[in-house]
């Protein structure tokens, strides 16, 4: 199933997608900050934990498409108003 183009969506559907993408991006950023703080803690006070670094690196392929989709939705909403 292919997604509908943004130009075919109603404004309500666009706002719903915007909130979904925005919450995804914010959640990933908060999770990345927590992992970064844990890495700093382990680096300073315990043994370095490289598994946490790999989890942070795996968030990039998830976050970038969500961020670009959020930008596209915002642009479409801006063009309509």
The mean pLDDT values, 10 residues at a time, for the chain of 81 residues are: 80 93 93 87 83 81 90 92 78
Residues 6+ apart with CB under 8 A from 73: 6, 14, 17, 18, 21
Domain ranges of the chain: 11-80
Q: What is the pLDDT of residue 21?
A: 93
pTM of the model: 0.80
- pLDDT value, residue 12: 92
What is the structure's pLDDT at 47?
A: 83
Dist CA 10 CA 12 (whole Å): 5
């Amino acid at each position: 199933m292919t997604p509908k183009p943004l130009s075919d969506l109603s404004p309500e559907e666009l706002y719903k997608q915007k909130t979904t993408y925005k919450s995804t991006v914010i959640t990933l950023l908060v999770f990345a900050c927590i992992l970064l703080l844990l890495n700093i803690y382990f680096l300073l006070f315990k043994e370095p934990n490289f598994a946490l670094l790999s989890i942070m690196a795996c968030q990039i392929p998830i976050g970038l498409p969500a961020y670009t989709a959020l930008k596209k939705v915002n642009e479409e909403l801006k063009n309509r108003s």
